[in-house]
Amino acid sequence: MIERNKTIKTYVRLMILIALTAVFIFPILLVLMNSFKSRLYVSTVPFALPQGDMYVGLENYINGISSSGFLLAFMRSLWITVAGVLLIVVATSMCAWYIARVKSKFCRILYFMFTFSMIVPFQMVMYTLTFVVNRLNFDNVFGILFVYLGFGAGLTVFMFTGFIKSIPLEVEEAATIDGCNPLQTYFQIVFPMLKPTTITVAILQAMWIWNDYLLPYLILGSDHKTVPVAIQLAMQGAYGSTDYGGFMAMLVLNIIPIIIFYICSQKYIIKGVIAGAVKG
């Protein structure tokens, strides 16, 4: 009887997981399917398979790339994502190391400020932020990196601090005795030990920066478009008409890199989150 109950519970859990998987995968499959349809059929029969007159092959992809400046926007998004993630990882990990090792009231206040920043929504500060960024001449592909650093610091400092507290202090003291200065101790001893949390932070921040639309639109505008901004602007036609076929094709091209990156690295997410949130 007990074995039978366990079997029933296993099947129920399996069915729930299958249902949840279908819910999450269905929108992606719908976008992929409609990217091969003519624009007239995307809005009228969105759930039909692309066949017959509906099927246009790679026409939507070719039109979308040529009309949106997709390749240039792709390279710009790639630069902002890679450089932004590197800046966030290096700067916040060093800040977390200082907070975890220096026992002072200032560090405790600083830690609570970073933690509090995680609950402040971007929409609450976006107008003030845009004004300040323009005044500081940060409204370019280099200045936006520091804006992303500011918004990404809360979560990453929180995760790094929790993990660093689990590292024995004796390891750093031994490095100091061997003649290492603070920078050498950090980059040669501490930073390599932060690999699980570093990979987790890189994944989360890369997914956020790559898919972000509002912040690049407010700061960079239409002069230096990232991929999400380029897609939205290029697919809007006259009198509010939208090329839904090209729109779907560009969405597919936009999500392919981040899906590949996530699939290759997703096994580190749970490990890093647990290490940073539970330890210490």
Tell me, what CATH number does 157's domain have?
1.10.3720.10
Q: What is the pLDDT of residue 84?
A: 93
Half-sphere exposure of 19 (CA within 13 A, CB side): 6
Domain endpoint, select from 15, 34, 59:
59
pLDDT band at 273 (very low <50, low <70, confident <90, very high): low
Write the pLDDT tens digit of every residue in 210-260. 988 888 888 887 778 888 888 877 766 544 566 777 778 888 888 888 888
32 and 88 part of one domain: no
178 and 205 part of one domain: yes
84 and 205 part of one domain: yes
Q: What is the pLDDT of residue 243?
A: 72
State the burial class of residue 142 (Cβ atoms within 10 Å of its Cβ: 0-12, 13-18, 19+): exposed
40 and 130 part of one domain: no
Write the pLDDT tens digit of every residue in 64-86. 777 667 888 888 999 999 999 99
234 and 172 part of one domain: yes
* Among candidate residues 275, 89, 124, 123, the one with its CA nearest the CA of residue 196: 275
13 and 129 part of one domain: no
Write the pLDDT tens digit of every residue in 26-79. 888 888 888 888 877 777 777 888 887 788 888 888 877 776 678 888 889 999
171 and 219 part of one domain: yes
Distance CA 118, CA 42 (A): 39
* Among candidate residues 216, 232, 59, 93, the one with its CA nearest the CA of residue 148: 216
33 and 157 part of one domain: no
What is the SS3 assignment for 241?
Answer: coil
pLDDT band at 280 (very low <50, low <70, confident <90, very high): very low
Largest CA distance in the chain: 75
218 and 251 part of one domain: yes
Q: What is the pLDDT of residue 85?
A: 94
How many domains is the chain built from? Answer: 2
Write the pLDDT tens digit of every residue in 128-181. 888 888 888 888 889 899 999 988 888 899 889 888 888 888 888 888 888 888
201 and 91 part of one domain: yes
The better pLDDT of the pair 202, 196 is held by 202
112: containing domain: 67-278
For the chain, how far is it from start to end, CA to CA, in angstroms? 43
141 and 28 part of one domain: no
146 and 79 part of one domain: yes
Sequence-distant (6+) residues with CB within 8 A of 255 are: 28, 31
